Amino acid sequence: MRTSVLHTLQDPTQFKQLLLQWAQQFREVVFLDSNNYHQNYTSYDAVLAVDALTSIQTDYHNAFDELNTYQQTTKDWLFGYLSYDLKNDTEAIQSSNFDGLGFPDLFFFQPKKIFLIKDDLVELRYLNMCDDELDSDWEEINKQQSSSNQQQSTDNRQLLAIDQRISKERYLEKAGKMLEHIYRGDIYEANFCMEFYAEDATIDPLEKFVKLNAISEPPFATYFKNNKQYLLSASPERYLKKEGSKVISQPIKGTARRSADIVEDEALKQELLVNEKERSENIMIVDLVRNDLSRTAEKNSVHVDELCEAYSFKQVHHLISTVVSTVGSEYSPVDVIRTTFPMGSMTGAPKISAMQIIEDLEETRRGLYSGAVGYFTPEGDFDFNVVIRSILYNAVNKYVSFSVGSAITAQAIPEKEYEECLLKARAMRSVLENT
């Protein structure tokens, strides 16, 4: 079904830049970049998929069933996303908040052309129907080298007026209401988010992605394009991966700033490791993930590989846990996703109660934010990130949006949670405002 060709790369970093530029001609694009951040379970350094042969696009009604049929029927590489509001397909929850973006709830496509980069090798996997373009595409990609610097230097200097959907005063009030739910025992923890946005906005999505990615260099960066709808993501978090019968979830909860001073930076990291509030946030979500994974796991196969390990990124330190399971043979790949989605790190515990309260207190429909982007392989394996630290853009209605959130627990201080949100918003805001 696919023809495979292998090439050696002299400069993998430069090749990724050329490849992403070349991809702009296509209607559908998914580019995934690990930025050489080698965590456990990394399959590729970068992946590009372009040009749909087939696709599926739907709202949340029966979305997982439709995706399951599509995946089982094609038995091929599929790339796309799951929006947060697919929760409405599995639970009795409705989303009536404002949505300025208008993305479909689910979108996947079967690409004609795939590039898989690992170390200094790139494998091209083209559908047989277009394998006569392998040589000409390769030449076209590498011919861009002489003009790449000029293309990268173009800079859209439109000044965007970034608005905040929830004011500081209302945020503090809503965080207080979230705490009331916790004190009453309705929930233990919830991820409370707010939107920043700009209307009548025209941006260069590729330029903004390159800048955002350079600020953070995260392990799950994503450039996604579906015609005029874009996701520019600098996500540090994996949602879920399947390798054979093994399933891996790596929730992030717990954040500390970085410091340019080496001694202070290490002290901040060590403080994060022992911070009772940050650890409790993480451990509550680990318990939730263990419960979610157990729904499709073989008996006694769910275990925690890492608990509250500190990982350092360019802007922040994070606590990350790794939970693994062995999936039962009777379950499909989509079953594993359906029973764990949305991810616990973006909802709370108990999950359904947290999602209902989130829906009441937040003012924006999350959509693709706090959803997931990734791919299925022909063998039924998959890998998906968590859509955070991300800019969403609809070029048709000229609407730009990014959202940030933090975990509210019984120990939360609303003022500090608000400051954490502003810290997380800094990179997206600076990229959009060209500062």
Residue 153 lies in a domain: no
pLDDT digits (tens, 9 = 90+) for 156-197: 556 798 999 999 999 999 999 999 999 999 999 999 999 999
Tokens of 86: 């697919």
User: Is residue 154 one of the residues assigned to a domain?
Assistant: no
Q: What is the pLDDT of residue 234?
A: 97
Task: Quote the pLDDT of residue 153.
Answer: 44
Q: Is the pLDDT of residue 121 over 50?
A: yes
Total number of domains constituting the chain: 1
Active site residue 306: no
* Sequence-ordered list of residues with C-beta below 8 angstroms from that of 68, at least 6 positions apart, any chain: 332, 334, 335, 338
How confident is the model at residue 146, as a pLDDT?
A: 43
Tell me the average pLDDT across 122-139. 97
**Looking at residue 152, what is its pLDDT?**
46
Residue 137 above 50 pLDDT?
yes
Stretch (H or E) spanning 425: helix 414-432
Please tell me the number of Cα atoms within 13 Å of 419 on its side-chain side: 8
The owner of tokens 């929850």 is 93
- Span 1-18, pLDDT tens digits: 899 999 999 999 999 999
Q: Is residue 147 predicted with pLDDT exceeding 80?
A: no
Query: Is residue 95 in a domain?
Result: yes
Question: Among candidates 381, 292, 275, which has minimal Cα distance to 344?
Answer: 292
Q: Give phi and psi for 170, each to the nearest 5.
A: -70, -35
Residue 405 is which amino acid? G
Residue-level length of the chain: 435
Mean pLDDT over 270-293 rounds to 96
Q: Once rounded to an integer, what is the mean pLDDT over residues 400-416?
A: 95
Tell the residue number behind the tokens 């970068």, with chain if given: 46
Residue 38 belongs to some domain of the structure: yes
pLDDT, residue 73, reads 98
Contact 28, 109 (CB under 8 A): yes
- CA–CA separation, 373 and 353 (whole Å): 25
The pTM assigned to this predicted structure is: 0.95
Residue 312 lies in a domain: yes
Give me the mean pLDDT over the 203-219 stretch.
95
The C-alpha angle 412, 39, 138, rounded to 5 degrees, equals 125
Residue 149's pLDDT is 46
Selected catalytic residue, list 237, 281, 359, 417? 237
**In-domain check, residue 151:** no
Q: How far is 44 from 118, CA to CA, in rounded Å?
A: 5
Q: Is 314 a catalytic residue?
A: no
Question: Which tokens go with 116?
Answer: 């898989």
If DSSP codes are grouped into helix, strand and coil, which group holds residue 274? Answer: helix
User: Which pLDDT band, with edges at 50, 70 and 90, does 219 fall under?
Assistant: very high
Q: Please, are residues 366 and 198 in contact by the beta-carbon 8 Å criterion?
A: no
pLDDT for 145 equals 64
Domain membership of residue 210 (yes or no) is yes
> Quick one: pLDDT band at residue 124, thresholds 50, 70, 90?
very high
Question: What does the pLDDT look like over 24-42, one tens digit per residue?
Answer: 999 999 999 999 987 779 9
Q: What pLDDT, on the 0 to 100 scale, is given for residue 372?
A: 98
Range of the domain at 89: 2-146+161-432
- Nearest C-alpha neighbor of 289 from the set 245, 230, 241: 241
User: What mean pLDDT is reported for the chain?
Assistant: 94
| Residue among 208, 241, 253, 351 flagged as catalytic | 253
pLDDT in tens, 328-361: 999 999 999 999 999 999 999 999 999 999 999 9
Confirm if 1 and 127 have CB atoms less than 8 A apart.
yes
Using a 10 angstrom Cβ sphere, with 0-12 exposed, 13-18 middle and 19 or more buried, the burial of residue 388 is buried
Average pLDDT over every residue of 71-77: 97
Can you tell me the mean pLDDT for 408-433?
94
Rg over CA atoms, the chain: 21
Given a cut of 70, is residue 236 above it in pLDDT?
Answer: yes
**Gap between the Cα atoms of 31 and 387, Å rounded:** 14
The reported pLDDT for the residue numbered 347 is 96
Mean pLDDT computed over 75-95 = 95
In CATH, what number is assigned to the domain containing residue 178?
A: 3.60.120.10
On whether residue 265 sits in a domain, the answer given is yes
pLDDT of residue 158: 67
Is pLDDT larger for residue 146 or for residue 289? 289
Region 402-425: mean pLDDT is: 94
217 CB-contact burial (10 Å; exposed 0-12 / middle 13-18 / buried 19+): middle
